[in-house]
Amino acid sequence: MRVLIAIPTYNEEKYVLRVLRRVREYAEHVLVIDDGSTDGTPCLLPNEPVDVIRHAVNRGYGRSIQDAFRWGCVDSFDWVVTMDCDEQHEPEALPAFMEAIREEKWDVVSGSRYLRDFGDNDSPPAARRSINKSITAELNRRLGLSITDAFCGFKAYRTCPVARLPWSEDGYAFPMQFWVQAAANRLRIKEIPVRLIYNDPTRTFGGPLDQDDVRYAHYREAMEREIERCADRLPLSARSGAMATCDGCG
């Protein structure tokens, strides 16, 4: 069983070396996707025994995940595990992902920050939690899913089923396309609990997406677009897309 740990990175010189050294305690194969960093991140990576994809310009979170899938497929990895580079995803959780992978029952093992209270969980910014809660509920209702955290990027993907799917969302709306594709292609999903950590609640998405209502509308537009594209493989409930509201989105 070959597993690749893929870490999208953008301007993470503060964290990247600590994260990589902790990850390497649990994993042999590590890929960093540097999404056009303009700080010192690119200068730090050559000193680490990891593979690197370097985007000349910032292409977006979704594009970095797609690159991880392609790398995993070409290099014959059975699984790709994605995690963030800002110390909000704990490398110490990787053994739990490996345990779920070894069950050989799943196509996706998705981290959830809301499955379990670890006793020292941080509190997310209110608007982010509200958007996550509203979007998660709508995905469950329309797609017949039973997930608790639509936006956690700490995930393990069985490489072959996901690498062949028609990904096109390059930005932060990638999870919307992913969950619709997961439902349309009957991917087997397991959630496992991970700690809720917010080291820097002031971090932004950039541009108009910093406005909560704009970001929420952007996610829903991506969801609707993908549901329309996959409508013939989704339950009828997927097409009942009355405009949902998000309390706390401004």
Whichever domain contains 97, its CATH number is 3.90.550.10
Containing structural domain, residue 13: 3-237
247 occurs within a structural domain: no
230 occurs within a structural domain: yes
Q: Which tokens belong to 146?
A: 């039973």
Burial environment of residue 241 by CB neighbours within 10 A (0 to 12, 13 to 18, 19 or more): middle
185 occurs within a structural domain: yes
Query: Is the C-alpha dihedral spanning 216, 32, 24, 26 positive or negative?
Result: positive
Round to whole Å and give the CA distance between 198 and 86: 9
Residue 113's nearest CA partner among 48, 198, 10 is 198
Entry pTM: 0.94
Q: Which residues pair with 156 in a beta bridge?
A: 81, 109
Structural domain count of the chain: 1
222 occurs within a structural domain: yes
243 occurs within a structural domain: no
55 occurs within a structural domain: yes
Per-residue pLDDT of the chain (250 residues; tens, 9 = 90+): 999 999 999 999 999 999 999 999 999 999 999 999 999 999 999 999 999 999 999 999 999 999 999 999 999 999 999 999 999 999 999 999 999 999 999 999 999 999 988 877 667 778 999 999 999 999 999 999 999 999 999 999 999 999 999 999 999 999 999 999 999 999 999 999 999 988 777 778 888 998 999 999 999 999 999 999 999 999 998 987 655 667 666 5
Residue type for 95, please?
P
**Helix 126-143 vs helix 174-184: crossing angle, to nearest 10:** 20
Q: Which tokens belong to 102?
A: 């070894």
148 occurs within a structural domain: yes
245 occurs within a structural domain: no
DSSP-derived letter for residue 10 is: S
Q: Which tokens belong to 249?
A: 């989105």
